[in-house]
Structure 1
Amino acid sequence: MIFRRLSTMAQTVPPLLSVLPTRAMVDEKIKVLVENLPAGSPVTLHSLLHSEDKDYWEAFAHYVSDQRGTVSVAEDLSYGGTYAGIEPMGLLWSMRPVPGSRKGLRLRKMDVRSPMPVNISVYSGHIAEGFREKPPLASVLTERWYMAPGVRRVDINERGVRGTLFIPPGPGPFPGLMDMWGGGGGLLEYRSALLASRGYVSLALEYFSPGELQTANLQFGYFETAFDIVKDHPQVIPDRVGIFGLSLGSIIALKLAAESTLIKPRCCVCVSGNNFFPRGSTITSMHEMMIKNAHKTRVDENDHHIWRDLSLPISSDLSEKVDARTINCPMLLVNGLDDQNTAAVEAADDVALMMHEAGKDHLLTRLHYPDTGHLIEPPYSPHFRATKFIVSSTKAKVILLWGGQTKPHSDAQEDSWRKILTFLQEHLYSSSSAKAKL
Structure 2
Amino acid sequence: MAATVTLEPAGRSCWDEPVRREPVRAGRVRATLFLPPGAGPFPGIIDLFGSGGGLCEYRASLLAGHGFAVLALAYFRFEDLPESLNVVHLEYFEEAVDFMLQHPKVKGPSVGLLGFSKGGDLCLSMASFLKGITATVVINSCVANTIAPLHYKDMIIPDLGSDLGKYTTTEAGLFNFMNIWNNPLEKPYHQSLIPLEKAQGPFLFIVGMDDYSWKSEFYAYMASERLQAHGKDRPQILYYPGTGHCIDPPYFPPSRASVHAVLGLPIYYGGELKAHSGAQVDAWQQIQTFFHKHLNGKKSVNSKL
Tell me the TM-score normalised to structure 2 length. 0.85
- Residue number among 178, 193, 198 corresponding to 1:308 in the alignment: 178
- 1:240–1:259 CA distance, 2 compared to 1 (3 A): closer
Summarize the alignment of residues 12-411 of structure 1 with structure 2, pairs less than 5 Å apart. 141=7, 143-145=9-11, 148=15, 149-209=17-77, 214-215=84-85, 217-260=87-130, 263-277=131-145, 281-282=149-150, 290=161, 292-316=162-186, 318-362=190-234, 364-392=235-263, 397-411=264-278
Quote the offset at 1:400 in angstroms. Answer: 0.5
Summarize the alignment of residues 1-20 of structure 1 with structure 2, pairs less than 5 Å apart. none
Matched residue SS, 1:267:
strand
Counterpart for residue 65 of structure 1: none
Q: How many residues align?
A: 285
Matched residue SS, 1:166:
strand
- 1:390–1:173 CA distance, 2 compared to 1 (3 A): closer
Q: Which residues of structure 2 form unaligned runs of 5+?
A: 299-305
Cα distance in 2, alignment partners of residues 287 and 359 from structure 1: 26
Give 2:232's aligned amino acid: K
- 1:401–1:387 CA distance, 2 compared to 1 (3 A): same
Counterpart for residue 301 of structure 2: none
- 1:203–1:172 CA distance, 2 compared to 1 (3 A): same
Cα distance in 2, alignment partners of residues 267 and 344 from structure 1: 19
Cα distance in 2, alignment partners of residues 152 and 415 from structure 1: 26
1:419 aligns with 2:289: no
Quote the offset at 1:139 in angstroms. Answer: 7.8
- 1:406–1:143 CA distance, 2 compared to 1 (3 A): farther
Matched residue SS, 1:268:
strand
Cα distance in 1, alignment partners of residues 270 and 294 from structure 2: 31
Give 2:227's aligned amino acid: M
- 1:138–1:296 CA distance, 2 compared to 1 (3 A): farther
Cα distance in 2, alignment partners of residues 288 and 312 from structure 1: 10
Cα distance in 2, alignment partners of residues 414 and 150 from structure 1: 22
Cα distance in 2, alignment partners of residues 425 and 301 from structure 1: 43
* Deviation sequence 1:232-254 (CA, Å, 0-9, x none): 10111121410111111101011
Quote the offset at 1:259 in angstroms. Answer: 2.5
Matched residue SS, 2:137:
strand
Cα distance in 2, alignment partners of residues 288 and 313 from structure 1: 12
Identical columns (%): 32
* Deviation sequence 1:125-181 (CA, Å, 0-9, x none): xxxxxxxxxxxx998856542884332111111111101001111111111011101
* Deviation sequence 1:87-144 (CA, Å, 0-9, x none): xxxxxxxxxxxxxxxxxxxxxxxxxxxxxxxxxxxxxxxxxxxxxxxxxx99885654
4+ long deviations beyond 6 Å: 137-140, 285-288
Q: Which residues of structure 1 form unaligned runs of 5+?
A: 1-13, 15-136, 432-438
Q: Is the 8 A contact 1:373 1:403 kept in 2?
A: yes
Cα distance in 1, alignment partners of residues 282 and 4 from structure 2: 32
Q: Is the 8 A contact 1:176 1:230 kept in 2?
A: yes
Cα distance in 2, alignment partners of residues 247 and 315 from structure 1: 19
Q: Is the 8 A contact 1:297 1:305 kept in 2?
A: yes
Cα distance in 2, alignment partners of residues 289 and 398 from structure 1: 21
Quote the offset at 1:312 in angstroms. Answer: 4.1
* Deviation sequence 1:339-381 (CA, Å, 0-9, x none): 001111111110010011122225x111010010000000111
Give 2:268's aligned amino acid: L
Cα distance in 1, alignment partners of residues 191 and 19 from structure 2: 42
User: What is the RMSD computed on CA atoms of the aligned residues?
Assistant: 2.6
Q: Is the 8 A contact 1:337 1:371 kept in 2?
A: yes
